[in-house]
Chains A and B, each alone.
Chain A
């Protein structure tokens, strides 16, 4: 990890397009500003980690997930008897969207 010390008002340049500035320090809180292209996603790490965990749990098969899905699916279909097929141009095959 690269470690640098900055004072309030000082900046970091990351790559060609990203700039980080220390705006303020109050006690333990550091206020940071970031300038980056709008296509670069910037998030607090805690939220990113929560979403990582959520995706991994969903993807790698929690025990009972398929059964719970099938049950929930039945309940949803009972609640809303709408046509299940979407616009036909979206479905290349019966089993693949």
Chain B
């Protein structure tokens, strides 16, 4: 390595101190619904919550969305090429999908939003939340089996 990466620290009230570099930042050019003004995020893991990870907003540390990685089996549908155009060109495995996780009506159970996945292009470090056109996909689905 010829260049030192500057280590930065993000202080998250929920996740503690997180070390990162500028290369770790994922940029959402259009924010996400509910947080349309936010742009820069980190994907943060916590061992006890694995496989869930957190999308943490650098500009608003109290904002951290739990995400569940989606696989071809659990993903309700793929976003169209047009919908993903803002994320730039992507290699075969560079586009990853996550469902936002939250608590359902039953306060102890997690539900996941399969209708509007968070999509990230790991090559360009750009992300967005895509509302899939399939109206049968649930916003509040129980965890896939």
Q: Enumerate chain A interface residues (CB-CB to B < 8 A).
A: 38-39, 41, 43, 47-48, 50-66, 68-73, 75-77, 79, 84, 87, 90, 92-97
Pair B45/A96 contact, Cβ less than 8 Å: yes
Of all chain A residues, which has the CB nearest B17?
A95
Pair A51/B34 contact, Cβ less than 8 Å: yes
Q: Tell me the smallest distance from the CB of B117 to a CB of chain A, in Å.
A: 11
Pair A43/B131 contact, Cβ less than 8 Å: yes
Task: Specify which chain A residues have a CB less than 8 angstroms from the CB of B64 in the assembled complex.
Answer: 59, 61
Number of A-B contacts (CB under 8 A): 134
Of all chain A residues, which has the CB nearest B84?
A39
Size of interface on B: residues with Cβ below 8 Å to A: 54
Known: A58-B100, A64-B108. A96 touches B131 (CB 8 A): no
* Contact pick for B63, options A51, A59, A72, A97, CB 8 Å: A59
Known: A60-B62, A62-B103, A96-B43. A54 touches B20 (CB 8 A): no
Q: Tell me the smallest distance from the CB of A2 to a CB of chain B, in Å.
A: 21
Pair A51/B113 contact, Cβ less than 8 Å: yes
* Contact pick for B23, options A58, A66, A92, CB 8 Å: A92
Q: Is B75 an interface residue (CB 8 A)?
A: no
Rank and list the top 5 A-B pairs by shortest CB-CB distance, nearest first.
A38-B82, A97-B43, A58-B102, A55-B34, A52-B34
Of all chain A residues, which has the CB nearest B60?
A59
Most A C-beta atoms less than 10 A away, residue of B24, B35, B66: B66
Task: Specify which chain B residues have a CB less than 8 angstroms from the CB of A64 in the assembled complex.
Answer: 103, 107-108
B73-85 to A contact mask, C-beta < 8 Å, 1/0: 0000000101101
Of all chain A residues, which has the CB nearest B85?
A39
* Contact pick for B116, options A51, A68, A73, A96, CB 8 Å: A51
Task: Specify which chain B residues have a CB less than 8 angstroms from the CB of A53 in the assembled complex.
Answer: 34
In the bound complex, CA of A53 to CA of B83 (Å): 22
B60-96 to A contact mask, C-beta < 8 Å, 1/0: 0011111000000000000010110110000001000
